[in-house]
Structure 1
Amino acid sequence: MDSIPANRRLWNRISGAYQHEHDPQIGAAPRLWGMYSIPDAHLRALGDVTGKRVLELGCGAGQWSRALAAEGADVVGLDLSEAQLGAAARAMGADRYPLVQGTAEQLPFAADTFDLVFCDFGGLSWAPPHLAVPQAARVLRRGGRLVFNVASPWFEACYDEAAARVTTTLQQDYFALDTIAEGDGATSYQLTYGDWVRVLRGASLVIDDLIEPRPDPETLNGYNKTDPPDWAHRWPAELLWVTHKPSSDRL
């Protein structure tokens, strides 16, 4: 919880530069997942959202939320950064949707409100998962789904800080993965496979699938340098979790 003010300051400071650099890629087409912009039509993680109540955790400039609103979803975009929400508001077209400033650790919504909670990095990369996942489960209706994409622990364990790139050599202690210092007190979060399973099951969510998006060899990472360039074609760079809240208390 102590990272919230610092994370807000970070995203308020970098929002303009981030959107200038990345919006041409992530806003180029609807439903593109992650660092390699892999279409959801290929991964089939989100499904039909028409008529569904949807919450995006960490909506940024709203590229995903705009796309789902255009498909007929009843979308709410949540972000901790007023600068990011400002970018989302400016980018809105005819398909408008509510924007809420808040944190994934303390969602300002009643229980059993949404049919789908999702994020592409966003809230589950920038909030402690042991706090954010139970909050997402709380606001889901029975049978509702939590779908989210985060970095793979392989990716983080192979990140060479000195070279500022992901390599083929293990650099970090896998079992020490937890928090990542982003400077000036800001923090992102990285779990092992086992810790993700325990957090999700601890929130009484059922794991339906774990998709490891695999880009084509020639597709480059839009956010990080990797050595070799086709790193994510050979090893998993991201984890796309597909889960749901049971229809009853019996698992």
Structure 2
Amino acid sequence: MDSIPANRRFWNQFSSAYQHQHDPQIGAAPRLWGTYAVPDAHLRALGDVTGKRVLELGCGAGQWSRALAAEGAAVVGIDLSEAQLAAATRAMGAARYPLVQGAAEHLPFAADSFDLVFCDYGGLSWAPPHLAVPQAARVLRRGGRLVFNVASPWFEACYDEAAGHATTTLQQDYFGLDAIAEDDGVTSYQLTYGDWVRVLRGAGLVIDDLIEPRPDPGTANGYNRTDPPDWAHRWPAETLWVTHKP
């Protein structure tokens, strides 16, 4: 299934509203992971990027890319949506970096080009992982790392679509998670833990860590409602994978 045209239309239409709602949080401080804005300083997933060539898959308005470029990384941001890239251009400031329009499942870069490929949701939530992960592995140099944060399958399995929030009750099957049909033909992607392991290992990557970011009980979620409010303090809402190319 080719989800690129519908996903591109969606993000072109949704970009302005998304950035208006979320940039005050995700753009306020550098290196904040996920819907609960957990600092990378606490999770230590990326490490020092100074002098490294870095690719952000699905860079959006470039909040992460901007921060890493300011730290001395040679960053390239890629996004499917020209509206998102326009937002990144407007917000770029002094830390300039290249922007490329493209899809995570068809990366327009040579093999062995990057020391780090990463995303916070972004490309690995909106592109088929069985296509996008091998592409990320291809463009990594030997010893390079793929680091990415996505929704936990726990969160997806407990999400009540009718109520519009995550609950304490299983709402759908865990096995068989893959493509998720959104409105207007838009598709997002969610794998089980086992399927993520198989996709990563199948692409020749070594899994170094699986971090489950755990916000403090009172931490606000700027994207989803949960019942109870401290859901993500009690169960994993997100999974942050740390891998490398041997």
- Output the TM-score relative to the length of structure 1: 0.97
Query: Is 1:45 matched up with 2:41?
Result: no
1:225 is aligned to: 225
1:202 is aligned to: 202
Secondary structure class of the residue paired with 1:35: coil
Query: Is 1:21 matched up with 2:29?
Result: no
* AA of the residue aligned to 1:134: P
Per-residue CA deviations over 1:191-242 (Å, capped at 9, x if unaligned) read: 0000000000000100000000000000021100000000000000000000
Per-residue CA deviations over 1:154-205 (Å, capped at 9, x if unaligned) read: 0000000110000000001000211111211110000000000000000010
Secondary structure class of the residue paired with 2:48: coil
Determine the C-alpha separation between the residues in 2 that align with 1:94 and 1:54.
18
**Pairwise CA RMSD of aligned residues?**
0.5
Determine the C-alpha separation between the residues in 2 that align with 1:129 and 1:176.
14
Secondary structure class of the residue paired with 1:94: coil
Determine the C-alpha separation between the residues in 1 that align with 2:102 and 2:49.
23
* AA of the residue aligned to 2:187: T
Per-residue CA deviations over 1:112-166 (Å, capped at 9, x if unaligned) read: 0000000000000000000000000000000000000000000000000110000
Determine the C-alpha separation between the residues in 2 that align with 1:220 and 1:158.
19
1:249 is aligned to: none
Secondary structure class of the residue paired with 2:117: strand
Query: Is 1:175 matched up with 2:175?
Result: yes
Unpaired runs of 5+ residues, structure 2, are none
* AA of the residue aligned to 1:221: N
Determine the C-alpha separation between the residues in 2 that align with 1:72 and 1:242.
21
2:244 is aligned to: 244
Q: Equivalent pairs: percent with the same residue?
A: 88
* AA of the residue aligned to 1:156: E
Determine the C-alpha separation between the residues in 2 that align with 1:220 and 1:30.
18
Determine the C-alpha separation between the residues in 2 that align with 1:61 and 1:182.
22
1:4 is aligned to: 4
Determine the C-alpha separation between the residues in 2 that align with 1:204 and 1:107.
17
* AA of the residue aligned to 1:133: V
1:104-115 equivalent positions in 2, closer than 5 A: 104-115=104-115
1:135-174 equivalent positions in 2, closer than 5 A: 135-174=135-174
Shift, 1:35, TM fit: 0.5
* AA of the residue aligned to 1:222: G
Per-residue CA deviations over 1:13-59 (Å, capped at 9, x if unaligned) read: 00000000000000010000000000000000000000000000000
Per-residue CA deviations over 1:54-78 (Å, capped at 9, x if unaligned) read: 0000000000000000000000000
1:90 is aligned to: 90
Determine the C-alpha separation between the residues in 1 that align with 2:122 and 2:229.
24
Q: What is the number of residues matched between the two proteins?
A: 246
Determine the C-alpha separation between the residues in 2 that align with 1:46 and 1:172.
33
Determine the C-alpha separation between the residues in 1 that align with 2:171 and 2:152.
14
Determine the C-alpha separation between the residues in 2 that align with 1:28 and 1:90.
16
Determine the C-alpha separation between the residues in 2 that align with 1:172 and 1:104.
28
* AA of the residue aligned to 1:176: G
- Output the TM-score relative to the length of structure 2: 0.99
Secondary structure class of the residue paired with 2:243: strand
Secondary structure class of the residue paired with 1:16: helix
Determine the C-alpha separation between the residues in 1 that align with 2:92 and 2:26.
15
Determine the C-alpha separation between the residues in 1 that align with 2:114 and 2:199.
20
